[in-house]
Amino acid sequence: MFLAVLIAIAFIFLLTFVVPWRKMGDMSKMIWRAYINLAKIPGPKSYPIVGSVWQFKLNSSDFAVQMSGFQQLYAFAEGSPGIVKMWFGPVPIAIVVRPEYCKLLLESSTLITKATFYDKLSEWIGTGLLTSTNEKWFGRRKLLTPAFHFNVLKGYQDIFVKQAQVFLEQIDAYADSGREVDLFPYVKRCALDIICDTAMSTQLNAQIGKNSEYVQAVTRLSDMLFNYERSPWLWLKPIWYASGLGFEFDRLVKMTTDFTRQVIAERRAILMDEGRFGESASLGTKKMAFLDLMLLNQSENGLSDEDIREEVDTFMFEGHDTTSSGMGWTIWLLGQHPQYQTRVHEEMDVVFGDSDREPTEADLKKCVFLDQCIKESLRLCPPVPIIARRLTHDISLGGCTLPKDLTVFLVPMGTHRDPKEWERPAEFYPDHFLPDAVAKRHPFAYFPFSAGPRNCIGQKFAQAEEKTVLSYFFRKYRVESSTPSPGNRFVPELILKPEEGVICRMYKRER
């Protein structure tokens, strides 16, 4: 009860002193229209001012279970419109679950504005490709698309291979030792080294213990951002800073962005020494780091150094957390299901035999069942747990009008468990991705990389990276997850992570 009173006082202060007066009219209008139009949409019980927040679980994993329960109770119930209503204090949220609604929102070329929930993240990574909108977003997307040309991605394969080999060297001592090991930090550092090398042409060497302060700062910032978004009382600057979190956040943001600025300056100096300024950098026909692409196009596209910093930090954040989540969950889930892990091992033996050679593009195309397992892991544990949009105009869904300026959440984890679309919605079942099964489903029943105009620009990059690293791992090791299913709950920070890590025992395979 005390917490509810505290939240109520905080939001009265928010609406009275913090929200700019010029925005109060638009906000009040949206809230009133939402109150009227969303009246028939089911959702958890709410009270004035505090909304639904009074019943939110404080523990992140408990909160994830609670949100999943709300979706099952209100979105999948008989007669439900497939939308869940929730109030974050006085701010209404509509959670959309049905694939046909997700399609309408994600395919729209006008509903591309990110919600205000991304504002705090922008204080770290700026308004780059992830958080920008309208003309700025379209311009950046056009500029960066050549960096993901298929010929460029082929050039990154040697980096995937090199870092995968370092990853195996770091964990090999645990194999056959009888000791448990949490593989998640190792996977995360591997992904961080890969994105640093590909995005910035810089060796971070996180896997061998270098730049540990930067690595720890990135991890801590992700944790702080999630706690900020789900704790409305922290939105008030006096509370944010009085708690000490605001000062810590500012310090870590400065440290990480200063690191990026230093890398940009050093990379520009290298390109100048190599005489590369003035060459064409738009054809996308050879390996080129994102940073190089932007530096070589800086004058032509009117980019400031801060514009470049925004994009590099965006890719550093998005490009390692998402792939490490995908790889970590795949290892953990296959460690829970030896029958599927055996099939992966058999496939590795067919493709590679007893060789430790580097995987080629042709090899990875043959790893069909491994690909199914990765996709099934992304279904159950999508790295991005929430996609949030602010509506720029009214839309009609399920007979309800969702008003302009309303925040809409798309929750892949919920849609990915729709019992109308999935044969075994709550189980790890890689055969969900057999061609016949895929053809029967709604195309928007599965969108771990988002979809439509704002789909993940790096999804092919991520898939190639994950298949390369995991093919190396499962060629060499068998793994047993220590926590029995359905343990190891989700931690829905900005990126979905396992609460207990990827704790397992490893065994070397005899091939």
Q: How confident is the model at residue 288 (pLDDT cuts 50, 70, 90)?
A: low
Rounded to whole angstroms, how far apart are CA atoms 316 and 215?
11
Judge whether 256 and 124 are in contact, CB under 8 Å.
yes
Enter the tokens of residue 60.
């992140």
By mean pLDDT, which of 294-298, 356-360, 368-372, 473-477 is the weakest? 294-298
Which amino acid, residue 66?
A: Q
C-alpha angle with apex 141: 138 to 143, nearest 5 degrees?
A: 110
Which residue's entry shows tokens 């205000």?
Answer: 116
Q: How confident is the model at residue 148 (pLDDT cuts 50, 70, 90)?
A: confident
Q: How confident is the model at residue 286 (pLDDT cuts 50, 70, 90)?
A: low
**What residues are designated binding site?**
456
- What single DSSP character describes residue 45? -
Among candidates 196, 218, 208, 212, which has minimal Cα distance to 266? 196
Domains defined for the chain, CATH in brackets: 2-112+155-208+312-508 (1.10.630.10)
Q: How confident is the model at residue 21 (pLDDT cuts 50, 70, 90)?
A: very low
Among candidates 270, 255, 257, which has minimal Cα distance to 310? 257
The three-state secondary structure class of 47 is: strand
In tens, the pLDDT along 157-171 reads 889 999 999 999 999
For residue 287, the model assigns a pLDDT of 61
For residue 5, the model assigns a pLDDT of 45
- pLDDT at residue 187 tops 80: yes
For residue 25, the model assigns a pLDDT of 56
Judge whether 229 and 116 are in contact, CB under 8 Å.
no
Among candidates 340, 333, 331, 495, which has minimal Cα distance to 426? 333
User: Which helix (H) or strand (E) is 93 found in, with range?
Assistant: strand 91-96
In tens, the pLDDT along 273-284 reads 887 776 555 544
Q: What integer is the mean pLDDT of 339-346?
A: 97
- pLDDT at residue 250 tops 90: yes
Q: How confident is the model at residue 18 (pLDDT cuts 50, 70, 90)?
A: very low
- pLDDT at residue 1 tops 50: no
Rounded to whole angstroms, how far apart are CA atoms 335 and 485?
10
**What residues are designated binding site for heme?**
456
- pLDDT at residue 402 tops 70: yes
Rounded to whole angstroms, how far apart are CA atoms 319 and 237?
30
User: Which helix (H) or strand (E) is 193 found in, with range?
Assistant: helix 184-200
Rounded to whole angstroms, how far apart are CA atoms 179 and 293?
45
In tens, the pLDDT along 471-488 reads 999 999 999 998 776 677
Which amino acid, residue 410?
A: L
Give start and end residues of each alpha helix (H) in 38-149: 60-74, 99-107, 119-125, 134-144
- pLDDT at residue 98 tops 80: yes
- CA Rg value for the chain: 23
For residue 215, the model assigns a pLDDT of 78
Which phi and psi angles does 425 have, rounded to 5°? Answer: -60, -30
The three-state secondary structure class of 218 is: helix
The three-state secondary structure class of 284 is: coil
Rounded to whole angstroms, how far apart are CA atoms 402 and 425?
28
In tens, the pLDDT along 58-85 reads 666 777 777 777 777 777 777 777 888 8
In tens, the pLDDT along 410-428 reads 989 889 998 899 999 989 9
Enter the tokens of residue 30.
């949206």
The three-state secondary structure class of 91 is: strand
Q: How confident is the model at residue 17 (pLDDT cuts 50, 70, 90)?
A: very low
